[in-house]
Amino acid sequence: MHRWSKLFIPTLREAPADAEVASHKFLLRSGYIRQLGAGIYNYLPLGQRSLNKIIAIVREEMDKIGQEFYLPGILPKELWVESGRWSVMGENMFRLKDRKGAELCLGMTHEEIVTSMARSELRSYKQLPQIWYQIQTKFRDEPRPKAGLLRVRQFMMKDSYSFDINMAGLDKSYDLHDATYRHIFTRCGLKFVAVEADSGAMGGSRSQEFMVYTDAGEDLIASCPVCGYAANLDKAVSRLEPLDEMVATGGGMPELVATPGCAAIADVAAFFKISPASDIKCVAYMALKRGTGAKKGGTEDTWHGVATFLRGDHQVNEIKLLGAIGASEARTMQAEELTQYMNAPAGYLGPVALDPEKNPLGEGLTVVVDKSLEGRRNMVCGANKLDYHLRNVTPGRDFDWTLLADIRSVNEGEACPTVGENGVNCSGKLVVGKAVEVGHIFKLGYKYTESMGARVLDENGKEVMPIMGCYGIGIERILTAAIESSNDANGFWLPASIAPFTVVVSVTNTADTALRETGERLAEELETEGLDVLLDDRDERAGVKFKDADLVGIPYRINVGKKAATGQAELVTRQTSSSVDVALSEVAVLVKEKVREELLLGEA
RNA sequence: CGGGGAGUGGCUCAGCCUGGUAGAGCACCUGGUUCGGGACCAGGGGGUCGGAGGUUCAAAUCCUCUCUCCCCGACCA
């Protein structure tokens, strides 16, 4: 039996000033964690117990579909050079040298490692499929760690990797993970949504994120309340309503108009008395193209000018932009660069008379036009001349581009993009909300098996590349998300499945021997029933024990106090702060019943 | 990396502008009184004021450099 008096649970009355988000404050105040450096934390006994419970659930579910490995956290450079990611990962990768000067890195993900294992061990289609997983510490030198355990530089991840003989096999492995993740998050008591996601640096064709809505989250999700469509804002699309075009003036061809001082979209719209939707906005970027890696004859990283054009009321989504042009980084142009590439000042940039590069990221200017401009007519845009705009501008007729692509973020209130099987548009309007990512599954494809040369023989004896998937779960993020979604002024409550203890027995006055013994007996009884029980046997006033109990995330509390004289105790449910008097003899059974109900809900 | 803020006992902060004996509350230790929602009284311990250099008779305070942490923007579990 665990006694509060013996455990190290350093609760704080006040949160350190550094903490801003709820989970960060409460993790510190409840004695779950302590900070060691930016994005580096000590996990204290209570935090560790909770994380261990999460890990146990993850392991139990993953064992149903895969096999557990434990791969090293310190990795040789060579494998990463082979895949090309030694350079791609950039500064996010912790790098070090050994005593011989050989270069190593700390593992931030393990595709290279499992692929190296696969290529040396897998020989035949008969060995496929394989699903390999591990639960292990990852290291990522985040540019900006933040919000307690939400974004850190060292964290635990369940990562798994699937190898299949063909796409149908990958589909199956992917679906297995999809289903397994849903079980895991449900058992952890999370209310989550699965959304379409961008594949990012991982590469690959399809991916889905598992998100928990919370204002502390860093991701934006667009979702439709009608049909259930949900996607990361970096991926989400919408159906735009048709617009009334402006009536052409004069001969209907582009006309130069003096617009002194009208640099902002709002100014231009007001000047022409038009909606911002009829203005063409320009955002000019410098985009970074990474070298393709030493193995492929390696080139230097290079910067390229990219001009993007979209509706005045739309925002560029840089993730979409990077994906469209095949760049890995982008920043907006400086004034000198605007002069160099467009010979115009900010506020008056326009697409007319530019000379678009044929291929993205060539020597000249890459011009990317958002799809929403396709088919539009008689718009207003900058004239690439200070204090002048053009009107009657029609995309395609008056200017050309390198690339026409979806590069904008959808706005809340736009129409849901879903089209039913009967061809009818969904009637829903998109809503945008913040969320934290707790899991991510990818169809990787052949990226690693190809670059690293993994081959097996198929049933015809022909050499083929296995196809891969990769799948991650952030262990600490499950805890963080749970706290974010279940807290109040006094603390937080966790689902019984992941709480450090299921129930705390608070003896209101330990100086009273009879009371203390009653508490001891009750705690033993609860333990006999298989519950994880913590006995608060500290020589503290009742108020202190109640405050602490409310703070630390334990879902049930039993007060052993005055009423013990009449054979009763109080059972307090933390989530609702509701309390019922229960006969001492029935407490254990009742708590067990409540926990079982809760767990069954988790299974459903 | 760019922009903003902060480093003073374990925690929250005051003191800095205007240089002159380092403070408060909470926490901790001892004794006593208390004992169902973070008790009270008395006594006590604990800080080279992030670090280095400089100005000065004298620096927490002024100047320079530096380190660390937090927040806002580009990455991801």
Whether CB of A576 is under 7 Å from strand B: the answer is: no
DSSP string covering A234-271? TT---BPPP-PPPPP-TTSS-EEEE-TT--SHHHHHHH
Contacts of A590 (CB under 8 A, 6+ apart): A571, A582
Q: Which nucleotide is nearest to A24 (CA to C1')?
A: B70
Contacts of A442 (CB under 8 A, 6+ apart): A199, A202, A204, A206, A207, A469, A470, A471
Whether CB of A536 is under 7 Å from strand B: the answer is: no
- The whole-number Å distance from A16's CA to B10's C1' is 11
Q: Residue written as tokens 């990852």?
A: A138
Whether CB of A34 is under 7 Å from strand B: the answer is: no
Q: Residue written as tokens 């999460």?
A: A54
Output the CA–CA distances (angstroms, integers) from residue A220 to A30, A68, A232, A239, in the order listed: 29, 33, 6, 18
Among chain A residues 51-90, those with CB within 7 Å of any atom of strand B = none
Fold of A12-236+432-483: BirA Bifunctional Protein; domain 2 (3.30.930)
pLDDT of residue A544: 92
Whether CB of A143 is under 7 Å from strand B: the answer is: yes
Tokens of A246: 């402006």
Q: Which nucleotide is nearest to A563 (CA to C1')?
A: B36
Whether CB of A438 is under 7 Å from strand B: the answer is: yes
Whether CB of A145 is under 7 Å from strand B: the answer is: yes
**Strand B nucleotides below 7 A of a protein CB?**
1-2, 11-13, 25-27, 34-39, 68-77
Strands A388-393 and A255-258: antiparallel
pLDDT of residue A482: 95
DSSP string covering A491-521? EEE--TTTSS-SEEEEES-TTSHHHHHHHHH
Q: DSSP alpha helices (H): ranges in A444-565?
A: 447-451, 475-485, 513-528, 542-551
Output the CA–CA distances (angstroms, integers) from residue A593 to A57, A416, A495, in the order listed: 20, 43, 14
Whether CB of A439 is under 7 Å from strand B: the answer is: yes
Domain boundaries, chain A: 12-236+432-483, 255-409, 501-603
What is the C-alpha to C-alpha distance for residues A105 and A92, in angstroms, rounded to an integer? Answer: 11
pLDDT along chain A (604 residues), means of 10: 90 83 91 90 94 97 96 91 83 87 91 92 90 95 88 94 94 95 95 78 70 87 85 84 79 82 80 83 81 52 82 85 79 78 80 79 82 85 84 85 86 86 87 90 89 88 92 95 92 95 94 90 94 93 93 95 91 94 93 90 64
Question: Going by CATH, does the domain composed of A501-603 fall within 3.10.20.30?
Answer: no
Closest by CA position to A419, among listed A406, A408, A428, A432: A428
Q: Which nucleotide is nearest to A541 (CA to C1')?
A: B35
What is the C-alpha to C-alpha distance for residues A507 and A546, in angstroms, rounded to an integer? Answer: 10
What is the C-alpha to C-alpha distance for residues A86 and A104, in angstroms, rounded to an integer? Answer: 10
Task: Tell me how far the alpha carbon of residue A475 is from its chain's centroid.
Answer: 12
ipTM above 0.95, yes or no: no
DSSP string covering A178-231? HHHHHHHHHHTT---EEEE---GGG--SEEEEEEEE-TT-SEEEEE-TTT--EE
Helix, strand counts (H, E) of chain A: 14, 35
- The whole-number Å distance from A18's CA to B20's C1' is 34
Whether CB of A167 is under 7 Å from strand B: the answer is: no
Whether CB of A544 is under 7 Å from strand B: the answer is: yes
The conformation of residue A467, written as its DSSP 8-state character, comes to: E
Whether CB of A409 is under 7 Å from strand B: the answer is: no
Are A191 and A604 in contact by the 8 Å Cβ rule? The answer is no
Q: What angle do CA A276, A281, A282 make, to 5 degrees?
A: 170
- The whole-number Å distance from A380's CA to B58's C1' is 69
Which H or E run contains A117? helix A111-121
Whether CB of A141 is under 7 Å from strand B: the answer is: no
What is the C-alpha to C-alpha distance for residues A204 and A226, in angstroms, rounded to an integer? Answer: 30
Whether CB of A169 is under 7 Å from strand B: the answer is: no
pLDDT of residue A182: 95
pLDDT of residue A91: 81
Phi-psi region of A334 (alpha: psi -120 to 50; beta: other; left: phi over 0): beta
Whether CB of A542 is under 7 Å from strand B: the answer is: yes
- The CATH number given to A255-409 is 3.90.960.10
Q: Residue written as tokens 């829903």?
A: A428
pLDDT of residue A275: 82
DSSP string covering A379-415? EEEE-SSTTEEEEEE-BTTTB--SEEE--EE--TTSB
- The whole-number Å distance from A512's CA to B31's C1' is 22
Among chain A residues 170-229, those with CB within 7 Å of any atom of strand B = 200-202, 209, 218-219
- The whole-number Å distance from A11's CA to B7's C1' is 23
- The whole-number Å distance from A12's CA to B62's C1' is 37
- The whole-number Å distance from A431's CA to B69's C1' is 36
- The whole-number Å distance from A17's CA to B60's C1' is 21
